[in-house]
Amino acid sequence: MTVTGIIAEFNPFHNGHKYLLEQASGLKIIAMSGNFVQRGEPAIVDKWTRAQMALEAGADLVLELPFLVSVQAADFFAKGAVDILERLGIEHLTFGTEEVLDYESISRVYGQKAEQMEAYLAGLPDSLSYPQKTQAMWQEFAGLNFSGSTPNHILGLAYAKAVAGKDIKLCPIQRQGAGYHSLSANQEFASATALRQKLDQLDFLKKYTPAYHLLETAPKVTWSDLFPYLRYQIVTCPDLTDFYQVNQELAVRIRVALKSSETIEELVEQVATKRYTKARVRRLLTYILVGARQEELPSGVHILGFSEQGRQHLSSLKGKVELVSRIGKEPWDSLTQQADKVYQLGDLALTEQNFGRVPIMKDKQG
């Protein structure tokens, strides 16, 4: 049986994600962001709820991406996730994209010219943001022209880089429905952004996510719930450069901007520049919020849930991969577990996220 990997946030799970799972072949392994996601914000519902959403929609195995993989720019996010999925034996990597290109040949270009491409990237002026630099690199070496704001396409290119030289086939699926952040509801598919903004509209949820029953009842967490804790961190920390990736320039900008910011949106707006994108600023603020400092990635893979087929696949990996199915006295990943404790501050109804939790077994839940 083919083993297919999918890298996802499911924030929250919607009809487009269900379509993606249906297009994937064989055993389906999901490498899913934990309680904080790539754009630098808390997931709207916790990782266990989102894992259950995925299992109910056909996933066979859901594993958790460590915090320092989840909350990263596209290239680092993709590399970290692909490295974990490779250890679990995936043969295909399936992903949604706005632009279905020949990602296999793009990957080969990077595999052949990685050193030159990275040198070119490093030589670009610091006045450009990292996404602008990577776009320039792809245009220079692969002749790719970018059509606009297409974050899934950007991730597709990051996956192409991440699988270069690996025995993993890229399987792009044309993204369905509205644009990535579209709020339109006049089609079969609605974006995760639209769902997050209409959580109080049950009819909308029923129409656009098969997991509406889970989404409706689960505790919700947003940046507004956690912003007071971020303010506290910034005000009380004597040196913000202690935090992961925060330099002196950004530390000063953050402190000054906080004085006149009442929301996370206002703070991000004031700190961001052409060089420092809003997404990067949100990630940095997330690092500050959870107290992230440079740490090693965990050696083990944390399992959130599985089907019977997924359980059998895990059995075949025993002795080859360090699998973590229960977090007890010994931590799996100290930073991720610390971030989860901060996440729990966002809603007092949230249950313990790690200690003693065991994977969701789909088949036992009917």
The domain ranges of the chain are: 3-217, 223-290
**137-194 per-position pLDDT tens digit:** 998 998 887 765 555 578 899 999 999 999 999 999 988 764 444 445 456 788 899 9
Flag whether 10 is marked binding: yes
12 has binding-site annotation: yes
Give percent of the chain above pLDDT 70.
Answer: 94
Peptide bond into 12 cis (omega under 30): yes
| The predicted structure's pLDDT at residue 132 | 83
130 annotated binding-site participant? no
pLDDT digits (tens, 9 = 90+) for 270-282: 999 988 999 999 9
3-state DSSP assignment of residue 65: strand
Average pLDDT over residues 265-271: 98
Cα–Cα distances (Å) from 72 to 19, 244, 246, 270, 274, in that order, read 26, 11, 13, 21, 18
The Cα 117–Cα 78 span in angstroms is 17
20 annotated ligand binder: yes
67 is in an annotated binding site: no
pLDDT at 134: 86
**Spatial separation of the C-alpha atoms in residues 52 and 42, rounded to whole Å:** 18
Q: What's the CA gap between 216 and 125, in Å, rounded?
A: 47
Query: Are 92 and 4 a contacting pair, CB within 8 Å?
Result: yes
Per-residue pLDDT tens digits for 300-339: 999 999 999 999 999 999 999 999 999 988 899 999 999 9
| Token output for 266 | 């206002």
- Of 226, 241, 235, nearest in space to 294 by CA: 241
Distance CA 172, CA 153 (A): 10
Query: What DSSP state is assigned to residue 296?
Result: P
Nearest in space to 307 (alpha carbons), one of 82, 21, 17: 21
Residue type, 224: S
CATH homologous superfamily of 3-217 equals HUPs (3.40.50.620)
Residue 191 confidence (pLDDT): 86
pLDDT at 180: 43
- 87 labelled as ligand-binding? no
Residue 15 in marked binding region: yes
Whether 8 has a binding-site annotation, put simply, is yes
The percent of residues above 90 in pLDDT, for the chain, comes to 80
What does the pLDDT read at residue 330?
Answer: 86
**Mean per-residue pLDDT of the chain:** 92
Predicted TM-score (pTM) of the model is: 0.93
96 is in an annotated binding site: yes
What is the pLDDT, as a whole number, of residue 98?
Answer: 80
- Is 354 annotated in a binding site? The answer is no
Residue 202 counted as an annotated binding residue: no
9 labeled binding residue: yes
Lowest mean pLDDT among 25-29, 268-272, 294-298, 346-350: 294-298
Tokens found for residue 1: 């049986």
Backbone angles phi, psi at 264, to 5 degrees: -65, -35
Average pLDDT score over residue span 339-362: 96
Q: Is 92 annotated as a binding residue?
A: no
Judge whether 238 is annotated as a binding position.
Answer: no
Overall residue count recorded for the chain in this entry = 366
Task: Say if residue 18 carries a ligand binding annotation.
Answer: yes
Of the listed ranges 92-101, 142-151, 242-251, the one predicted with least confidence: 142-151
Q: Can you tell me the mean pLDDT for 14-30?
A: 95
> What does the pLDDT read at residue 186?
52
pLDDT in tens, 36-88: 999 999 999 999 999 999 999 999 999 999 999 999 999 999 999 999 999 99
